[in-house]
Amino acid sequence: MGGFMLYAADGNQIKTLDIDTLYGLYKKKKIEWPRISKKEIEDRSKGDFLSKGIAMLQTTWFIAQCILRGVYKISLTQLELATVAFSALTIALSILWMNKPLAVTYPFRVNLLAPDARLDPFPGHSPSSQYSSQPTSRRFRAYFCNRFKEKGLFAPIYIFIIEPFIVVWSSMKDLITCETLPKDPNQSSVPTFYAPSSPIDIVAAFVGLCVGIIFGGLHCVGWYFEFPSSAETFIWRTSAATITAIPLILFLIVDNVRMQITDADFSSLRSLTVYFLIVLYCISRAALVVLPILSLRCLSTEELLDFQWTSFIPHI
């Protein structure tokens, strides 16, 4: 997670350590095993209980509103249902990531052992990894001016359209392929979705299976919703059933959930099946994002009604 930075004997940063490199250097007796406490690990976490708790409270409140709409027979829009599904996913991720350090600013210092090695009296503080103390507005103006010098009149298009797309695409790519840490020694943080290549634990896979089925199952609640056209009804039902079933199929066809898909076995039928299911899942998820937005063009009067919480409060 970017929590350990390797330093040379002269005090220069070398690179962010992953677990394999850290253990390899220790076995070769090139470093001392880092001594770090639980409190120090928790201190590296930027997503604390307060921020996650507020997000979960807001999410739970929204889900409760949608449930009560169903109880009192008030129509729910496809967009609200899709949001409920994503809200359930948010709660699951918040629980699973509750103790996960995020965006480590000051990595723990690991020094290479050498006869003339001089250890920093304040380990864990990296001067070169500290961020600029300039105000955010001043940094943004400097960034904006630099982009105008580079891109000219196309700078606004690049800043507000192309660069956000690159950021989103990079995150999506990291989610699928990020198995190695950045090689830039000045970068003390790692991608949010970095995960080293390793066999998947059966318990973790089962938890992922349950979350995937619940996410898809919530979309299936809209099976009998009214859609603007029969084609949209068919696409919604097919896509909802697909994203509900695929996690279970993937769980069953991968031996003990431990198959590593590499270029060497890409030609195998099972690997092709896995890739096909992943592509099909992505297409279905995309359809379930587009359809709720399209359905807003013809909302019924009942769907525009708001739930009145004051009706539960005793009053004269």
Encode pLDDT of 60-85 as tens digits. Answer: 888 888 888 877 777 888 888 999 99
Which residue intervals of the chain are DSSP H helices? 19-27, 38-43, 49-71, 78-96, 136-151, 155-157, 163-177, 202-220, 230-253, 269-294
C-beta neighbour count of 5 within 10 angstroms: 24
24 contacts 4 by C-beta, under 8 angstroms: no
Name the range with the highest mean pLDDT among 61-70, 89-98, 238-247.
238-247
- Looking at every residue in the chain, the average pLDDT score rounds to 76
Summarize pLDDT for 254-287 with one digit per residue, the tens: 654 444 444 444 446 667 787 888 889 989 999 9
pLDDT digits (tens, 9 = 90+) for 279-300: 899 899 999 999 999 988 887 7
Handedness of CA 123, 108, 136, 155 (dihedral sign): positive
Question: If you average pLDDT over residues 31-42, what whole number do you get?
Answer: 82
pLDDT of residue 128: 39
Give the residue among 123, 100, 78, 314 at the shortest CA–CA distance from 219.
78
Residue pair 99/45 in contact by the 8 Å Cβ criterion:
yes
31 within 8 A of 113, measured Cβ to Cβ: yes
Whether pTM > 0.85 for this model: the answer is: no
Higher pLDDT, 70 or 187: 70
